[in-house]
Amino acid sequence: MVLVLLVGYYICRPATIMNIFLVEDDAIYSEFIRKGLSQNVGYKIKPFVSAEEALKEINGKLPEVMIVDYKLPGLSGIELYEKIKSKITDSNKVIMLSAIDDGIMVLSFIQKGVRDYVIKDENVISSLQAIISGEDENYF
């Protein structure tokens, strides 16, 4: 952590900022996730309403984390994943979100290479935080 003196106040800032792209077409749900994750000052969250919009912003450089809704207008979340898959390294995480708890769909995600999947339920924020921080092994 780095302490910054700002006009007589000490502000605790993380030494590094984690860039997170949130691709969610539901504005209310997007805001809910942003507010929940913004409790961590080390997260810089950039929202997108479509996969196409996120693809333009990526322009060859992936953020550390992408949280992607499965069901999006236009390109779906899994179609977005397929387009960026070759650029994903060990330093990137792609988390697929879905309101549907469907084992067959999850299996198809795994077969395509998606490692992280979160159901939109009452635990979505804590689940996302655990995956982003790398504590998901102990969480689930």
Strands of 15-127, DSSP E? 18-23, 43-48, 65-69, 93-98, 116-119
In a domain, 40, yes or no: yes
Give the total number of structural domains in the chain: 1
Q: According to the model, what pLDDT value does residue 106 have?
A: 78
Q: Does 114 reside within a domain?
A: yes
Query: What is the average pLDDT across 117-125?
Result: 93
Rounded to two decimals, what is the model's pTM?
Answer: 0.83
Q: Mind listing the pLDDT tens digit for each residue in 19-41?
A: 999 999 999 999 999 999 998 88
Average per-residue pLDDT for the chain:
85
Domain extent, residue 96, equals: 17-139
Structural domain contains residue 93? yes
For residue 48, CA distances in Å to 5, 7, 51, 55, 109 come to 33, 34, 7, 10, 21
Residue 33's domain is classified under what CATH number? 3.40.50.2300
